[in-house]
Amino acid sequence: MPIDTGTGTGAASLNPLNEITSMWDGLNPHLVASIFEVDHTCKRIGDVVVKAAMADETTLDFVFNWQSPFEQSGPDSKAPALMAMLQSGALQPIVDRAPKSIQNAVGGGLDAAKGRTGITKLNSTQIFSGMPPVKFTATLLLRAWRDPDVEVERPLDQLMQWGLPQKLAPEGTMVTAAIDFAKGDKTLVQAALPSIAPTLIAITYKRRTYGPLVLESVGVPLGSPIDALGRFVQLSLPVAFSTLTAMDRFDWMALKNRGTSA
């Protein structure tokens, strides 16, 4: 997917591509993340781009769920205490006190059990049971050199507009929805689902484009420095993104292809 993120990372105002960014003169452009709105196919929507540097603790977390479903199928799980005593030889003193007939019947069996285990390749085999969406955590750095409104306040406002629901219906009871539907004021979908979810976004960072993503959390440090007018002049925003779905190997290779064509 060709993505035009521009090259003007040093602009302190909106350029023709509607880039909202601070001045990052002298910083490698690959260290400046570009965030923009996309649809569920990662096709770009609109021309607004928020650019921000990222702190060193930026991480991309993949979790692969491997499980051992046959782990509890051995005799060790059915009678753990008995099997432990049998394998360790702890049953031998009990057998020694039993009648000779019982000792002759089980004595050899107890000796053969010492040092053996019920673990096999089957009950230790792992299977892949799926994976959750990929987590993208970062700290976005915003700073003002000339205009706090453009370089800090507007990027913050745009991120919040992307993260918050596009619209929350003032009333959400089934009764009012049924009345609106009966009157013809709303369709069935509008009556049942009256609000609009947050938008999807994508991030281009270090030659890879990650998306579509959902913005899961934003931390706004209210104690950050301000100017005489109360405008933030510097912000470190801890953010957490998540992919819309789990990823496979083709999705991973597509990340770099998108970033290269950006």
* Distance between CA atoms of residues 166 and 47, nearest Å: 18
Q: For residues 156, 160, 162 and 166, what is the CA-based torsion angle, rounded to 10 degrees? A: -140
Give this prediction's pTM.
Answer: 0.72
φ, ψ for residue 72, nearest 5 deg: -100, 20
* Distance between CA atoms of residues 125 and 70, nearest Å: 7
* Distance between CA atoms of residues 241 and 223, nearest Å: 23
Give the residue extent of every domain in the chain.
Answer: 19-64+130-169+205-261, 66-127
In this prediction, the residues of the chain whose per-residue pLDDT falls under 70 are 1-17, 72-115, 172-175, 177-181, 183, 258-262
* Distance between CA atoms of residues 117 and 239, nearest Å: 49
β-pairing, 19-21 vs 44-54, is parallel
φ, ψ for residue 159, nearest 5 deg: -60, -40
